[in-house]
Chains A and B, each alone.
Chain A
Amino acid sequence: MTAIDTEVETAAAQALPATFRDWFRSRGWQPRVHQLDLLAQTQAGRSTLLIAPTGAGKTLAGFLPSLIELSQRKTQPKSPTTKSEVSRLRSTGRGVRRDGGLHTLYISPLKALAVDVHRNVERPVADMALPVRLETRTGDTPVSKRQRQRRDPPDILMTTPEQVALLLASADAPFLFGSLRCVILDELHALVTSKRGDLLSLAMARLHRLAPGLVSIGLSATVAEPDDLRRFLVPQPMEGEALASLIVAQAGAPPHVTLLDTAEHLPWSGHSARHALAEIYELIRQHRTALLFVNTRMQAESLFQSLWHLNDDNLAIALHHGSLDVGQRRRVEDAMTAGKLRAVVCTSSLDLGVDWGDVDLVVNVGAPKGSSRLLQRIGRANHRLDEPSRGILVPANRFEVLECTAAVAAVAANAQDTPPARTGGLDVLAQHILGCACGEPFLAEDLFAEVRSAAPYAGLTRKDFDDTVDFVATGGYALKAYECFAKIRQGVDGRWRITHPRVAQRYRLNVGTIVEADMLKVRLVRARGATGLIPRGGRLLGEVEGYFIETLTPGDTFVFAGEILKYEAIAENEVYVSRSTATEPKVPSYAGGKFPLSTYLAERVRDLLAHPRQWRALPDQVREWLEIQKRRSLLPGLNDLLVETFPRAARNYLVCYPFEGRLAHQTLGMLLTRRLERARLRPLGFVANEYALAVWGLGDVEQALRRGDLSLDTLFAEDMLGDDLEAWLDESALMKRTFNHCAIIAGLIERRFPGEEKNRKQMTISTDLVYDELRKHQPDHMLLRAARADAASGLLDIRRLSTMLSRVRGRIVHKALERVSPLAVPVLLEIGREPVFGEAADSLLAEAADELVKEAMQ
């Protein structure tokens, strides 16, 4: 035993009760330093953030304080009461004081994780025969059990943010949470970056008020800004800020990450990594169990499909992504746990959570996008702290080689680039306000103070709050038409309360911030026979986004659930498909990744480009590519923006390299073409990828620059984010989609449920139409403000574009070329490869209609 071990042993002897000490010993374990530190902090009543790598016993650390306290309590342990006892002993009426509420609440972002953690914590409880009752509560929990839990709660409840919101919106909340001692927030880094984090923060503010002595524990992987999470855990004062304590566990062995050293030709563009398939397959053969991460569901489908083409050994290779049927996903997870699989192709659906022991290799196919994301994925291999996780990166094209190389360096430096903390959304606040009114009547003054104590809402203005209350009450319209239909109303006591129990019922059905894209169930049927009729009720394959199917024509083939399928028909909320004999799907299956390249990694890529001495690490083909670029054009400096212009096939091209991700580039492309249009340079189109943007047109931009008719500083000036952006946003389909999400979260329109699809012409309303009217009549409406705030950081990534434009001011380097440069090839190759969106709807309609006329007149 080393000196440190002895020290820990002594500390443990003092901190842990004998039962726990013996249990650790019986398992052959020792309490880790961070586990004991967290215990000490919690016992001192201090909320704490624990940052620890996977495999460090984080979950046990989180539960240890509660288990110890519960094992030492004086009162009789709770035993499940029978139904008749519950109804006899416990009144649930408003204002009735009861005891026996929850002791500890565990909140996780994933249902599956809550269930898994329940299993893991049950073990020590059973081993030590602790008098502690643990239960889970998720959307899958039967209604009868959920009702019983409200009357007769367990000591420890494992659940999700949505369930907590539901419990808080009931009259039982003061009873359930009044005695709460501890809240454990698992995978906090993943929760706080979304609207679910906003909802959770508001729930936490309420919990801290209901149970003033509450201690919160945040469990997280490493993050860029731990203070964001520390603020999240504790109520924020009106002035200044409050921080939870911080414990950082000792890091495990550093991960071992390399680039696949491919012998094949590296593609110029594309995302399939087809060139490396044989080498990936070989890696699977050489390892016990491999996880293959990709960035999109489509890529997962395509990689899975291609690997099975090569799978002469019939290795057990499975597929896992969020759109697959739950049953199918569970079967894959179970087979994985049982060690029956050699490889799983997966998306971010497996970034988090469930422990799978035996993975000995993680392969990341395509761009890693960010250092933290990559670290988390690679951490999925080898859940033992003392052995290094092994990861191999497979870039799918040359730019991705640069990104992967930068990522390897970032991982070696253990650099974190998790997104910054959010400003709480007003749509989520609207949902919370209605929930509060469903629970108990509130005074606006008190609720405003409570909401402001949640870190994401610390900067909330009283006006925004009041507008949101007004929205919840009557829609918040300038035209006061809906007073008689108010959902909440202020009583003579000044308190806001719901106007009808129906309002609470509706709230319960619509709670949550996850807005599923209009998902359609995919069923496998036999192909349309001679009768032309489609047999109904085939096997369920999973779900697919409605907007994807809407671009298809019956007969089109696409890849889904690992097969090439033929689209047959759609009926209500189901899509009917049949097996296709096609070898190549007709519809291109790549859709842009969900996550943009992180700002941090982008900077590293620019740094790599700017410094040729770092190129030694690159594969020969890539180094050669950059060297030719250097000779023929330029390589931009670290903080410069390179702009190239060249003619090609009777068009004039302008290509720039901001490295800010596809979303920001698309927004930039739209704004640039507007400006070029005004400068009469007649732009015709543009295409963007993660690294670059190409615009082309009829006018000679190079000549205009040379003559001084146009300057790049003006073209890229930040003021493009003013009126041009506003004008475009208002009509943008992305904006409409963002608005739709806000409208659902805020409760303006209701979610659709299975079985309610019939007669939807009358029963539902298109938010696009609502958006148009609202924008015309009340452009500053709270929901439009919420949607614009979302657009800034979401699908349009305006914030990032703005940072880039200010960074490159005065640092734009122009290179006039006679032909396309090596660096420009990848982005130009994307032309025609992407799904068709480039033509305006009306010119397409005119073209189609006029073609028919021509045909008829011949």
Chain B
Amino acid sequence: MNLFSLPVSNGEDKQEDRNSALSPLAGEGWGGGYATRAVSPDPEKAPARQPHDMTIAGAALIADPAGALYWPEQGLLAVADLHFEKGSSFARRGMLLPPYDTAATLALLTALIARYAPRVVIALGDNFHDGDGPARLGDRDHDTLRGLQRGRDWVWIAGNHDPEPADNIGGNFFAVLLVGALTFRHEPSRKASDGEIAGHLHPAARISQRGRAIARRCFVEDGRRLVMPALGAYTGGLNIRHHAFRAVFDALDFRAHLLGPDRLYRFPARRCLSD
């Protein structure tokens, strides 16, 4: 068994693979319970994607490797936990993180909207990292956001970080939104609820293959309900074996779909490791 092999294909898109292959200490950037984003930092350069289907409560959905959900029947795009202005929220408390996160998250959204041209966009709560976030939004980012909202319905779901509607950010504000068979909300409800699409938990999963642990953000679903990965540029991940997920899904009878640069990887929960 050759554990050191490099990708044989010469595709430029494999460069990152080679890099991590050669770093003896490569730890997948896992410090402090975080899963790194799969390497595809630049949405414009992202390679062709394989469609990844899932069905929740009978609704046929497409999960995008960037971490968004598209519902073709409704022309609906859902994204979770954008955490706009997380950088400036930290800056307020004395940690002057680079102020580029909102723009980066918006760029990702722009690419997704260009890809699916949705009629409706639903942001599943924790859209801003804190209640003052909308007021700190820079002019350029504000314009970008308004541009994305033009010609389509835009729904802000209330999150625990931003429970109140904010002025001047467009769209409509809901605590919970029902569309057809699906219910869109921020926190997964405690009672089993068919057709629920939620965020809040920032799911990430850990897989071990050939002795190497790999952590990624992921979708988690059991066919009845779905928890989406966080999309925000500075958002971390929470392991799906954490007890918080026990309130949502039955013991290990669910699936994780790990994000890769151009596809998703599906695993049964029992295959995923705890921290």
Contacts and interface: CB of A to CB of B under 8 A. Distances in A.
Interface stretch (B6-14, B70-78, B110-118, B189-197): B6-14
A845 B27 contact: no
A576 to B, nearest CB: 12
A670 interface: yes
B24 interface: yes
Contact of A842 (B10, B23, B38, B268): B38
A748 to B, nearest CB: 7
B2, B234, B258, most chain A CB atoms within 10 A: B2
A766 B32 contact: yes
B6 A506 contact: no
B14 to A, nearest CB: 7
Interface stretch (A116-124, A348-356, A710-718, A829-837): A829-837
A682 B11 CA distance: 12
B99 A481 contact: yes
Interface stretch (B143-151, B164-172, B201-209): B201-209
B22 A666 contact: yes
Given A482-B88, A842-B261, 18 more contacts: A506-B94, A553-B273, A570-B275, A673-B6, A674-B18, A684-B8, A685-B4, A733-B28, A748-B95, A761-B202, A769-B236, A777-B98, A777-B103, A836-B210, A837-B212, A845-B265, A849-B265, A852-B268
A767 B36 CA distance: 10
Contacts of B88: 481-482, 485
Nearest to A687: B4
Interface residues of B, number: 79
Contact of A840 (B18, B31, B266, B271): B18
Contacts of B18: 670, 673-674, 677, 840
Interface string A676-700: 0100101111110000000000100
B29 A736 contact: yes
B92 A698 contact: no
A737 B32 CA distance: 13
Given A553-B213, A685-B5, A770-B234, A837 B98 contact: no
A551 B98 CA distance: 30
Contact of A765 (B8, B20, B90): B90
Contacts of A481: 88, 91, 99, 138
Given A554-B274, A760-B32, A768-B29, A666 B100 contact: no
A487 B4 contact: no
A732 B5 contact: no
A474 B3 CA distance: 46
B202 A848 contact: no
A768 B8 CA distance: 28
B207 A848 contact: yes
B99 A477 contact: yes
B30 A731 contact: no
13 contacts: A479-B138, A485-B91, A485-B92, A547-B31, A666-B22, A670-B19, A732-B22, A764-B236, A778-B100, A837-B212, A840-B20, A844-B214, A845-B265
B225 interface: no
Nearest to A552: B213
B31 A774 contact: no
Nearest to A663: B24
A684 B5 CA distance: 5
Interface string A752-770: 1000000011001111111
A773 interface: yes
A89 interface: no
Interface residues on A, range: 35 or more
A778 B215 CA distance: 27
Nearest to A487: B94
Interface string A844-855: 111111001000
B24, B138, B214, most chain A CB atoms within 10 A: B24
Nearest to B232: A769
A769 B233 contact: yes
Interface string A229-246: 000000000000000000
Contact of A685 (B6, B208, B268): B6
Interface string A774-812: 101110010000000000000100000000000000000
A518 B28 CA distance: 14
Interface string B42-79: 10000000000000000000000000000000000000
Contact of B98 (A731, A778, A832, A841): A778
A776 B100 contact: yes
Contacts of A570: 274-275
Contacts of B32: 518, 546, 752, 760, 764, 766
B21 A840 contact: yes
Interface in B231-266: 233-236, 238, 258, 260-261, 263, 265-266
A475 interface: yes
Contacts of B216: 845
A836 B3 CA distance: 7
Contact of A839 (B21, B92, B235, B236): B21
Contacts of A843: 7, 17
B3 A838 contact: yes
A777 B19 contact: no
A734 interface: yes
